[in-house]
Structures are given as structure tokens and as C-alpha cells.
Structure 1
Amino acid sequence: MNHAAPQTALTAEQIRETVDRILSAGELPPIVQAGHPALRQRAAAFDGQLPAEQLSRLIALMRQVMHEAPGVGLAAPQLGIPLQIAVMEDQFDVDQEAAALRHRSPLEFLAVLNPTYTAQGSGLASFYEGCLSLNGLQAVVARPEKVLLEYETPEGAAVQQEFTGWQARIVQHETDHLNGILYLDRAQLRSLSNNAEYAAHWAEPGISRAREGLGFDDGPAGISVC
């Protein structure tokens, strides 16, 4: 039976205190791992809980953590902060064949508040996906190939923007984090591999070898428990 993720119980004051503690620590915060409550709760909508200067510092810190990991996205709950804030950036130089198959192109730095996405059309793409909060694991996830993302900028502007290919995968993954959803909730669990086994057996631009060898289909798995 599916379950809706509970809303965070932290008050605006408690969220500010959490952010203050992280910003004043003088070091990069750890990325919390599966099992941390912030990853399984719906984050609070951003409505001014942080002043502009503090919000700017938090976004800069999140970008630094994302780069250090390294990754292409990071949501505030991954730092234990239950606020609907995420950052994304994909400047990785990848194999041309893989980039073409995955429709992966550079994504300029983007900071989003209160994002929601809507699939555009019925096309799905299935690829291996990982997460900085599930270290060492990957699984195949079928996601819409094209989405419309609605979000607010840190300056308060409302934006609607379409994303396709790998960029669409990134914005869906990060937006899911803000709603207590991990990629494993949407994954074909028979495809689950640790990084070493993936590299040894299934590393290729697509998933055909893994699909045959591990015995899964590449359709949407839905959400099991969130």
C-alpha cells in the first residue's frame, strides 16, 4: 500500500536554527543518508523562513557541497534541512555516445524554490540513476523524457521552464527529494547494483545488458513507500 510522506514537523524557528548551525560550522556539512527523517518527509514550502542574505549563503553552501560530492544536484533535505530548496548543475564531460543516448547536455547552475513538475507527453526514458544520499548504489528508473518545471527563484520570481533528457531527470530527482521520495521508490529493484558491480557488469550508455542479465523490464515501477 502506498503512503504519503508526512509533512515535516519542524517549525520555521527550528528550520532557521538548523540552517544557522550548518552555516556557522565552518566546514562542509555531511550529506545525510537514507534513514534520516528529513529524506522521508515533505519539506516545508519556502515562504520567507530565511532572510535573503542567509538564503543566499545556504544556496552557495549547497552548491559547494554538490560540487565536492561530486554530483549534479542537491536538495536541502539532503543536508537535514526540511525546506523546499534545491540546486542543480551538470557540467560533466561524458562519453559522446552516452551523452547522445541519454540526451545529456550541460545544465547551467540553477537554484529553485518550491518546485513542481508535470510530464509533457507520454514518453519515458529508462536509465541507471544514483543518489548522494544512497552512497554506492544505482538502479534503473523510468522517468518522463520531458517535463515542465514550475518554481520560484531565490529573488522571488515565478518561472515555468521545460526540460528534456538528462536535465529532466535531474529536476525530477531533486524535486522528488522535497516530497520525501527517493529514486528507489520509482526504481526497478531487480536492477539495483552497487557501483563496483555496475562497473564490472552493466556499465554502458543504455540498460539493455543489465535488463537481460538481471531480469527486469524498463517500465515505470511507481512509488512503493514514500
Structure 2
Amino acid sequence: MPELAPIIQLGNPILRQKAAWVNNIQNEDIQKLIEDLTATVTKANGVGIAAPQLAQSYRLFIVASHPNPRYPNAPEMEPTAMINPRIIAHSTEVVKDWEGCLSVPGIRGLVPRYQAIEVEYTDPQDNLQKQELTDFIARIFQHEYDHLDGIVFVDRLENTLDMITEQEYQQRVVNKIEL
């Protein structure tokens, strides 16, 4: 049965480590980690979560886009486990948009990301997958991929003025309240 694991927070040294390659995808502990990540991201109303956020330093994350209070305009997709992912190509176009992180609660930032990426990853059945991701789904992938290299979204901010609290984000961006 999947467990709702505690999500580690910014400052925990595991978030700054380079995660290890998953060698045996069929390993029972890896399969359980996939279940735990999926249950945790769903319960937390997230759109993605990486294994290091559950204090498991493996190259594995879940992309689980769906509309929710944190991302009301997110597209709908089934939670997808991506093991040993790689970005193999990307667009030249970079777009800045708002991101938050379950490991950095209460803060949002305007983060530049590639608008489109081509990725490879292994699925939980040990099959190699190749996809082109765009817009919000590409953003989620890049955000989670950064976690595997010890990078959090605040490291990508071009300026500290691009940071905002979750409360201000909800009022100004989601509810469109201007100054």
C-alpha cells in the first residue's frame, strides 16, 4: 500500500545532491517508491514530485498535471513515472512563468524554461519512452529534472524581484487582482 511520505524542505542536504541512476527498475523498493511518490503528489495537490523530495536520491520523478488550487489552468494528464530521464533536445524559445515547489512552501518564482523539449525516460515496466513535451508539461519535467541534479527553482530565478509569496500569487495571478 502506498505511503504518504513527508516531503523534505529546502535546506535538507538531500535536495542539493545529484541523484543516483536507477539500475534495477523492477526492484520492489523502486516500485514502492513510485507508488509512494504518486500518492504523495496527489495528496499534496502537486503537479510533479521527484524522489529526492521524499529523501530518496534516485533519478526518478512523477509528472502529474491536473487543475488544482495551486495550478488552476494546468492541463489534465495521468500521473506518469519517469525513471532515469534525459532531455535530448530543446527549443530555442525560453518562456518565463510562475513555479512553486512542494519543498519550498509559500514561495513562487518567475522561472525561465524551454518552451518545448524532447525527452527520454524509462517507464515502470522498464520500457524506454521518447516524447516531445511543450508548455506547462515541459515546465514540470524541467522543474523535476532539476531536482535530480540538486537544483531548486529559486536557483533559476534571474532576479529576486521575480519571487512572490503564495498568498500574493493567489491574489494577483490566480485571482487577477492588480495593485
TM-score, L = length of structure 1 = 0.70
The one of 38, 55, 58 equivalent to 1:80 is: 55
RMSD of Structure 2 on Structure 1 (CA): 2.4
* Cα distance change on mapping 1:190 and 1:118 into 2, 3 Å: farther
Letter of the 1:55 counterpart: I
Deviation of 1:178 (Å): 0.5
Counterpart of 2:165, as a letter, is N
The alpha-carbon distance between structure 1 residues 36 and 62, as it changes in their structure 2 partners (threshold 3 A), is: same
Shift of 1:29: 1.8
State the match for 2:17 in structure 1.
Answer: 41
CA separation in 1, counterparts of 2:11 and 2:5?
17
- Match of residue 111 from structure 2: 141
User: Which of these residues, 117, 134, 147, is aligned with residue 164 of structure 1?
Assistant: 134
Task: Describe the shift of the 1:58–1:117 C-alpha distance in structure 2 as closer, same or farther (beyond 3 A).
Answer: same
Corresponding residue of 1:58:
33
Q: Post-superposition shift, 1:116?
A: 1.5
Sequence identity (%): 33
Instruction: Name the CA shift for 1:125/1:27 in 2 (closer, same or farther; >3 Å).
Output: same
CA distance in 1, matches of 2:88, 2:105: 28
Say whether the 8 Å CA contact 1:119–1:144 is kept in structure 2.
Answer: no
Structure with greater strand percent: 2
Contact 1:107/1:167, CA 8 A, preserved across alignment:
no
Of 165, 169, 175, 1:198 maps to 169
Cα distance between partner residues in 2 of 1:135 and 1:109 = 22
Aligned to 2:125: 155
Structure 2: runs of 5+ lacking an equivalent: none
- 1:68 maps to 43
Q: Aligned partners of 2:80, 2:15: CA distance in 1, in Å? A: 21
Q: How far apart are residue 205 of structure 1 and its match?
A: 8.8
CA distances 1:116-143 after superposition (whole Å, capped 9, x unpaired): 1144321121111100000010010011
- Unaligned stretches of 5+ residues in structure 1: 1-22, 214-226
- Aligned equivalents of 1:63, 1:204: Cα separation in 2: 25
The 8 Å contact of residues 21 and 84 in structure 2, kept in 1 or not, is answered as: yes
Amino acid of the structure 2 residue aligned with 1:125? V
Equivalence for 2:85: 115
Classify 1:205/1:118 alpha carbon distance in 2 versus 1 (closer, same or farther; 3 Å). farther
> Match for residue 102 of structure 2?
132
Aligned 8 A contact 1:126 1:143 in 2: yes
Query: Does structure 1 conserve the Cα–Cα contact (< 8 Å) formed by 2:45 and 2:68?
Result: no
Q: So what's the TM-score if we normalise by structure 2?
A: 0.87
Instruction: Work out the number of aligned pairs and report it.
Output: 175
1:56 shift after superposition: 1.9
Greater C-alpha Rg: 1
